[in-house]
Structure 1
């Protein structure tokens, strides 16, 4: 039996950016994906792609505004009524770009609500079932921007640092119950997120000059890392942040 058969994965931001392709990889591996997203066009694209590949029977999509914590809690409660959640992937993020002094406190709070607090809600609600089962996987999608070198993204970078902190705290606290917590920091991947860079040609050059591997990252690169870190094979790995960036940042 495939180890991912029967796995129930709560995945925020599952329809956008790298989410769509990695969701399809998880479904193809046999997992049931409980996708949470809030973009109608991207949700429609994921629904269509899953149907085309014959994977719809293992996909559940819930449209929730992640800044609305009561709505998120209600949505997860409904999903838990259908069975436990043994894996949480906190992937959803917003990433406005401008100088720090131009952000209002409300804008900074919204970034933190989507990028960090929604993940905290997901883990809080999934944790009792993981404890009871004696098994769980938590995966936070961080970013290599946390290492420095990027301007005009301070609230986003702050949120990714918070996720790395949560990864380590959760790893320490939850390990005794057979639960691991890790993070993945993607490098530069061709997604809508790159549209925030005004000089696209210069940005492409910077990426390839910075990476040791001279090609752009592909969704499969992230999907392979996700599948490994949530697998049984990674059961002795916890509290770690894995850079998947073609050798841009080396630690």
Structure 2
């Protein structure tokens, strides 16, 4: 599953599962344009990258909530790196409270970061992919898409939207040699879990639902992303791969 020599545009690349997967991509020879806006997490990412790979890490501090600025930032970077071979739409925000307490503006803010920024990323990357007749787009959805989560309605709706876009884009972009897939991570021990008041109880909840009785690791996500970004996955498109230890089965 070689991704060596590929240029990956990766949003949310310094936080949660992003840091470890970014390092894994660099270890495999890819160039990663790591989009994030958290200075502390960016510093941690830069510190985690081996010196031999640092020239292939291109950090881009950008606020995905400002779509015009985000477009300008990634267009400028595209000119610098020669376009993007792979887009991974991973960045997300996940405010939690009862549905009736969310304003429409708060719903729209989640949609803007979790979905609309991904639309912008694909619009910027697609012309180069079409010219090369090769490209990979991977949307990061969530196990929450399959139901059973209260208090996260804007987030769940955004992750469902990514699955819909995955299928629509796959149908439309296939003739250009571009595949579009999604992964739906299960419950991984990241900062996102800090919204749960009882961490030990939440871990028990997760393991009871998984077929594999261990918590997931970032390498589980990195392996799935690397496969879908590779030549070996060239006949797979429009699919959602659940990386969740057997939580959801179809």
Answer yes or no: is 1:241 the counterpart of 2:236: no
Answer yes or no: is 1:102 the counterpart of 2:101: yes
Which piece of structure 1 moves more, 75-84 or 114-123?
75-84
Which piece of structure 1 moves more, 37-46 or 193-202?
193-202
CA contact (8 A) 2:137 2:181 kept: yes
Deviation at 1:86, TM superposition (A): 1.0
CA contact (8 A) 2:3 2:226 kept: no
Deviation at 1:54, TM superposition (A): 3.0
1:98-128 per-residue CA deviation (whole Å, 9 max, x = no partner) reads: 1101111111111000000000000001000
Answer yes or no: is 1:194 the counterpart of 2:193: yes
Take 1:181 and 1:153, find their aligned partners in 2: how far apart are those partners? Answer: 26
**Residue 11 (structure 1) aligns with:** 10
Answer yes or no: is 1:92 the counterpart of 2:91: yes
Deviation at 1:17, TM superposition (A): 0.1
**Residue 224 (structure 1) aligns with:** 223
Q: Find 1:60's aligned residue among 44, 58, 63.
A: 58
Take 1:61 and 1:72, find their aligned partners in 2: how far apart are those partners? Answer: 13
TM-score, normalization: structure 1?
0.97
TM-score, normalization: structure 2?
0.98
Deviation at 1:78, TM superposition (A): 1.0
CA contact (8 A) 2:3 2:229 kept: no
Which piece of structure 1 moves more, 121-130 or 191-200?
191-200
Gaps of 5+ in 1: none
Give 1:156-175 correspondences, 5 Å limit: 156-175=155-174
**Residue 45 (structure 1) aligns with:** 44
Which piece of structure 1 moves more, 157-166 or 194-203?
194-203
Deviation at 1:55, TM superposition (A): 1.6
Deviation at 1:3, TM superposition (A): 3.9
**Residue 71 (structure 1) aligns with:** 69
Gaps of 5+ in 2: none
Instruction: Indicate the RMSD between aligned Cα atoms, in angstroms.
Output: 1.0
**Residue 205 (structure 2) aligns with:** 206
